[in-house]
Chains A and B, each alone.
Chain A
Amino acid sequence: MMHPLLATVPVFSQLEDVMKHALHFFHASLGLPWAWAIVATTAVVRMLLVPLMIRQLHSMQSLQQHAPEMKRIQQKFKHDKQKQNEELMKFYRENKINPAASCLPMLLQFPVFIALYYTLRHFNTNFLCTTPLAANASKAATAHWNAACNATVQHTDLSFLHFIPSIADSATAHWGGYVLLVVYVASQMASGLFMATTAQKSQRVIFMLMPLMFVFVIARFPAGLTLYWVTTNLWVVGQGLITRRLVQRTPAPAPEKRSSRTAPKDDDGTSGNGALPEPAAPKPAPAATSQPRQVRRKKSSGRRR
């Protein structure tokens, strides 16, 4: 897949070095098996991206508030997708919301991926057979080194839950790898659903079909890389579920004119507005939170998704 020449690029070997130390830390200092060290490293990478998720959460909240105006724009330009897109973008900018993810954080995952790829490819020499073989070693010395290395590899637990024998081997080396690949496809599709909430329908279909093609490429990578991907995807799905929950729950401060216009129509009378002032008085706080929640849920159901 990746050209061996790329390994000589100094940046890549430095990336490999960083990843090597991260994995080694989780394995040697925290005592995690190698496979779980990968999972832990992935989790740390995703944790670093959590502040970005919080940004995303805020903009999803304000997106819900502005749903009616956006619907109007969509209606107005429904025959001209290009124009519609432009107008929506302009609207986002005016209201300082950005529903779509930004490219930069996505790009930051690339070095992580490259680093892990090379670290796993050179797994044995990185971690297990660390004494380098001299370049001018004799045939006997080379044979001895190989034997010692093989013995070390044999005695190291490189498995993931014992159904993938080695994270450094390609995923297709064992039936467990195929199971992992199936999990990968499923998790990638699921995370695609969450990441592409703002995409158009055709684009979303592509996101769903992509893993089916990529599984053939990934099958040739070390199984640990698939493990990284599965972990990332599951994290994204979990994050997406939590985000959706929070967006539906948190009553973001609604713009005044909008709530005053929509509230009477949606209200069943319990949330005030002069209809039942006395019963609403004993518990003002729940009433105050339940009103926007109701309004917003109505909006969210009208959203294209």
Chain B
Amino acid sequence: MNVVLRAPRYAGVGLVWAWRLTFGALFPTTCKYEPSCSEYAIQAMRKHGILKGGALAGWRLLRCNPWSHGGHDPVR
């Protein structure tokens, strides 16, 4: 795909990394899902672009609550 078209998703992945290195590292947690929420966000955005991938990541974050069971949950 065109680099220009892919630029937004790289930006999205960059944002996730920025999160990981700053605030995410300050409040160390392990995710109950595998891959973890941030890894899931990166994979989802790489695969589906920033809009759909971002939405998928957002939905995953909502699922990653204390009332869910976690587990293996890859990007489809």
Interface residues of A (CB under 8 A from B): 51-52, 55-56, 85-86, 89-90, 92-93, 96-107, 109-110, 113, 188, 192, 195-196, 198-199, 203, 206-207, 210, 214
Q: Does B14 contact A (CB under 8 A)?
A: no
| Interface pair A92/B71, CB less than 8 Å apart | yes
Q: How far is the CB of A162 from chain B (nearest CB, A)?
A: 28
| Interface pair B72/A195, CB less than 8 Å apart | no
A90, A110, A203, A210: the one within 8 Å of B71 (CB): A90
Which secondary structure characterizes the binding site on chain B? Answer: loop
B23, B28, B36, B61: the one within 8 Å of A195 (CB): B28
| Interface pair B32/A102, CB less than 8 Å apart | yes
| Interface pair A89/B70, CB less than 8 Å apart | yes
Q: How far is the CB of B32 from chain A (nearest CB, A)?
A: 4
Q: Does B2 contact A (CB under 8 A)?
A: no
Interface residues of B (CB under 8 A from A): 23, 25-34, 36-37, 61-62, 64-72
What number of A-B contacts does a CB cutoff of 8 Å give? 87
Q: Which residues of B contact A113 (CB under 8 A)?
A: 23
Closest to B28 in A: A207
Closest to A85 in B: B34
Q: How far is the CB of B46 from chain A (nearest CB, A)?
A: 19
| Interface pair B67/A55, CB less than 8 Å apart | yes
Name, among A51, A104, A214, the residue most crowded by chain B CB atoms within 10 Å (CB to CB): A104
Known: A55-B66, A92-B69, A196-B29. 4 other contacts (CB 8 A): A86-B34, A89-B33, A195-B27, A195-B28
Q: How far is the CB of B74 from chain A (nearest CB, A)?
A: 10
Closest to B66 in A: A55
| Interface pair A105/B66, CB less than 8 Å apart | yes
| Interface pair B28/A102, CB less than 8 Å apart | no
